Amino acid sequence: MSEEYKDKAERVKKSYEKRKTAASGEKGLIIVHTGSGKGKSTAAFGMCLRAIHHGLKVGVVQYVKGAIASGEVDMLQSFGESVEWHRMGEGFSWITQDEELDRKAAGQAWEKSKELMARPEIGMVILDEINVAVRRGQLPLEDVLGALQEKREMLHVVLTGRGAKPELEEMADLVTEMKMVKHPYRAGIKAQKGIEF
């Protein structure tokens, strides 16, 4: 091993140890996955698997997404009572083309979201595609910010969808932006099992 490699590794280790020592508290996190790239919901469902492994019950509310078959729904529901799943969207706006229908669906999904966040046995709530509903005006930003401000101390809330409002990003403890560099649709390749659904 070169001295340069060893020195760099030692600096990284010291930096990590310093941050680890400083980070002694725990709290329920507000997590935002946004951006134009693929993988926002997939990352949230990966967190769902981790949460289940550690004994947390997870509530999932899907905004926007309609009744299109998706592998993660059946797979995660196979964990029984560890996951409570609510698919409440009417489909993407370019499919529904009905603003009032989309607003009504988002409102119903928001009521379910608040119910799940209030239940003490649930440790994580995933609000899939809520950023899209907020950005499109189907759901008031102020309502979402208020509920997140008042959430239980140890509840984790994950918000996915492109176009997250800056106020949500500011409130969040963790924000990840997925950037699209390349997508198979643009090369004429259709959606693939295990990748898109």
What is the DSSP code string of 88-129?
Answer: -----HHHH--HHHHHHHHHHHHHHHHHHHH-TTEEEEEEET
The three-state secondary structure class of 45 is helix
d(CA 43, CA 6): 33
Residue 195 lies in a domain: no
Task: Name the pLDDT band for 58 (thresholds 50, 70, 90).
Answer: very high
94: pLDDT strictly greater than 80: no
Question: Which phi and psi angles does 174 have, rounded to 5°?
Answer: -140, 125
Task: Name the pLDDT band for 151 (thresholds 50, 70, 90).
Answer: very high
Q: Which residue has the higher pLDDT, 25 or 45?
A: 45
Residue 134 lies in a domain: yes
CATH of the domain at 89: 3.40.50.300
pLDDT of 96: 58
Residue 159 β-bridge partners: 32, 127
pTM, full prediction? 0.88
95: pLDDT strictly greater than 60: no
pLDDT digits (tens, 9 = 90+) for 180-194: 999 887 888 888 887
pLDDT of 88: 87
Residue 189 lies in a domain: no
Residue 115 lies in a domain: yes
Per-residue pLDDT averaged across 110-125, rounded? 98
Per-residue pLDDT averaged across 164-174, rounded? 98
Q: How many domains does the chain have?
A: 1
pLDDT of 93: 54
Per-residue pLDDT averaged across 125-129, rounded? 97
Contact 88, 112 (CB under 8 A): yes
pLDDT of 90: 65
The three-state secondary structure class of 87 is strand
Can you tell me which residue has the tokens 């009504």?
104
d(CA 187, CA 181): 13
Task: Name the pLDDT band for 66 (thresholds 50, 70, 90).
Answer: low
Q: For residue 32, which amino acid is it?
A: V
Residue 187 lies in a domain: no
Question: Which phi and psi angles does 122 have, rounded to 5°?
Answer: -95, 125
Tell me the chain's radius of gyration from C-alpha atoms.
19
Can you tell me which residue has the tokens 């999904």?
109
Cβ neighbour number for residue 32 with a 10 Å cutoff: 26
Residue ranges making up the domain that contains 69 = 27-180
Residue 7 lies in a domain: no
Residue 21 lies in a domain: no
Return the structure tokens found at 37: 């790239």
Contact 36, 178 (CB under 8 A): yes
CA atoms within 13 A on the CB side of 84: 15
Cβ neighbour number for residue 158 with a 10 Å cutoff: 27
Q: Which residue has the higher pLDDT, 3 or 156?
A: 156
Residue 2 lies in a domain: no
